[in-house]
Amino acid sequence: MNITSDIVPEVQPGVFTYELYTILSNFESANLAQVKYVRKQTPGIDEDLEFNLWTKPDCGGTEFECNYKSWFYFAIKGGIPGTAVRLNLVNLNKQSKMYSQGMTPVFKVDLGKSEKPNAKFSKASWFRIKEIPTYQVNENQEFVLSFSHRSLENIEATTYYAFTYPYTYTDLCNSLSFYEKQFPLPSDLKEKNEKDIYFHRETIVKSLDNRSVDLLTISSFKDISEERECRLFGLFPDENKPRPYAFKKKKVVVMSARVHPGETPSSFVMNGLIKYLLSKDEQANILRQNYVFKLIPMLNPDGVARGFYRTDTRGTNLNRFYLKPSLKFHPTIYAARSLILYHHLGYELRDELIKEHSNILDLTTSSSTFCRSSDNDDDLNIRIKDMLATDCIVYDGQNKIKPKIINNDPDSLNILLKKSQSCTADFFTNKGLDSGLYLYVDFHGHASKKGIFMYGNHFDNIVDNIECMVYPKLMSINNQNFHYTSCNFSEHNMYSKDKKFGLSKEGSGRVAVLKYTGLIRSYTLECNYNTGRFVNFIPPTVHFVAERRTQSLVPPKFTPTIFEQVGKSLAISILDLSNLNPNSRLENSDFKSLTGLREMLRSNIISDCNRNRRLGSKSTSNINVDIPITSKQFLNLKKRI
């Protein structure tokens, strides 16, 4: 078949016109670089017209351009009503496996009527296209995805197409503004009951494109203090916005999303989590009573707004820079890491300002200048002794601390601190420190492996490995689409390098948080864009033992609603992990209790280790499985909770 093509002119940025058709990419998160009309000279084709479309790679046209071309998002309007148009996306990254498993693009129709720009409802109008798209690799070794569009009777209507369900930066801002109005901050703490919802929104940092990166604090008013959290170095640029109040006794849960802009499932998971934490559900109330949730809903707003798939505006995969992020080049990751360290230690430690070969600093300070998340001076004394033992330097919220020893008294708040080359990430994981963190999860989308699952870290002893696996296993009890068997806790998955740029996963949030805090419960949540391999049987809750819901055995096509349910399940699983869930499913599961679940995990680890030793595999054979889980160890595990 002889094929020729004509370039469709771009009459203004992001607006391409051919006869009665207009193809658009002049809106937020859109991605379309070029359009060509295809002239065919062979009769018998199904479609009346055909267009070839090219997407822009991440950072296209700049010095930072890189070859990520999976995300597309454009619109088409006009044409003769009822006319079939073939759309070929001709330069995508090869995603044969995903599309062979039934992945389809999504679409929505805007009838031209004014709609309220409320992110809460924006997801309702998106659907997967009904036809199965075709795909091939062309003579230029480019991946081509093809599907049909039919012109609508309403010539004012616009049809939008996207790689998967979009969720823009504006969607997020509208959603958070809605919650901010619903849960206003009190003028006086005494006005509030301890069960009331505490919701605080602030800008933690500005992105490279000067967009606000939101940080949410969600809890109850229980254990709230009149002291506010401090303004960390280089962060919280709006000086007119007060920091949230500090909480004396509650552990902190940190969760984040959209470090990779094209991975929109992570935003819907975050939406489900926020919606549940702010609900009137009794389990949500118990969560707020016991924890402080620190949520960063969009770590890469620039990439999201520009229609990128994986990078920021400098072509950087930000999820490889958590070990040593730059405030100048990776401000959002710098902010996330600073936040995590602050809530782990209880004070700010600006380790990146410590000079490599500095000597003893002869400086002064007092407890009042010490920037910390707790107002307990006894706790502060303990922390300072820990710092003395490890020769580290501390900074307050704005300035260097100048410590001196008074009368050789190590209990004095004015102390002498040294810098030595031993002051590394190992200091932060000091087992003597009572970390303020409870759990960390970073949300992602996933193209190849089916299902919803987690990556955890690997440990050289069985007790820590068990504790790392408990939370994901609880997720499989609370969510029918969570695949525990797809979870990965291997050492290889902590240090493997990316094929394209050779960056190690050691710089990912999950691994870096472990290295800097020693937090066992540090995870990456992965959500396939398309579907899963199976569905779990979900046991009934304690209060509904007689409940036997009919469950389909066919894995569903994933939707924003399903991803939101994952966010809710993440919250409920924290209650189970904490032994605080009054309406748990665990009691009606095969494990009956946390003890039973841990014992099952222990048996599985020992079995895997023995099998791998026989086969000569090193994947789990280096775990010390000779440690019995005694009642004392279970008590210690409970204390972690």
Active site residues: 526
The residue type at 103: M
Q: Which H helix or E strand runs over 119?
A: helix 119-122
Q: What are the b/e assignments for 98-134, b being 16+ CB within 10 Å? A: bbeeebbbbbbbeeeeeeeeebeebbeebebeeeebe
Q: Which residues contact 325 (CB under 8 A, 6 or more apart)?
A: 333, 334, 337
CA–CA distance from 11 to each of 5, 128, 268 (Å)? 18, 30, 35
Can you list the alpha helix ranges (DSSP code H) found in 440-508?
462-478, 492-495
Whole-angstrom distance, CA of residue 614 vs CA of residue 605: 14
**Is there a contact between 507 and 493 (Cβ–Cβ < 8 Å)?**
no
For residue 88, the cross-strand partners are: 52, 146
Question: Which of 23, 15, 91, 96 shows the shortest CA–CA distance to 56?
Answer: 91
Q: Which residues contact 631 (CB under 8 A, 6 or more apart)?
A: none
Torsion of CA 570, 183, 299, 487, to 10 degrees: 0
Whole-angstrom distance, CA of residue 102 vs CA of residue 129: 11
Whole-angstrom distance, CA of residue 444 vs CA of residue 325: 20
Q: Which residues contact 616 (CB under 8 A, 6 or more apart)?
A: none
Q: What are the b/e assignments for 33-51, b being 16+ CB within 10 Å? A: bebbbeebeeeeeebebbb
Whole-angstrom distance, CA of residue 464 vs CA of residue 624: 10
Kindly state the tokens that stand for 474: 């609880």
DSSP string for 568-628: HHHHHHHHHHTT--TT-SGGGSSS-SHHHHHHHHHHHHHHHHHHHHHHT--SSTTSB----
3-state secondary structure of 174: helix
CA 610 to chain centre: 35
Q: What angle do CA 343, 344, 350 make, to 5 degrees?
A: 80
DSSP state of 11: E
Using alpha carbons only, how large is the chain's radius of gyration in Å? 27
User: To which residue do tokens 């904490």 refer?
Assistant: 578
Kindly state the tokens that stand for 235: 């962060």
Kindly state the tokens that stand for 440: 């960390």
**Is there a contact between 224 and 245 (Cβ–Cβ < 8 Å)?**
yes
CB atoms within 10 A of CB 151: 22
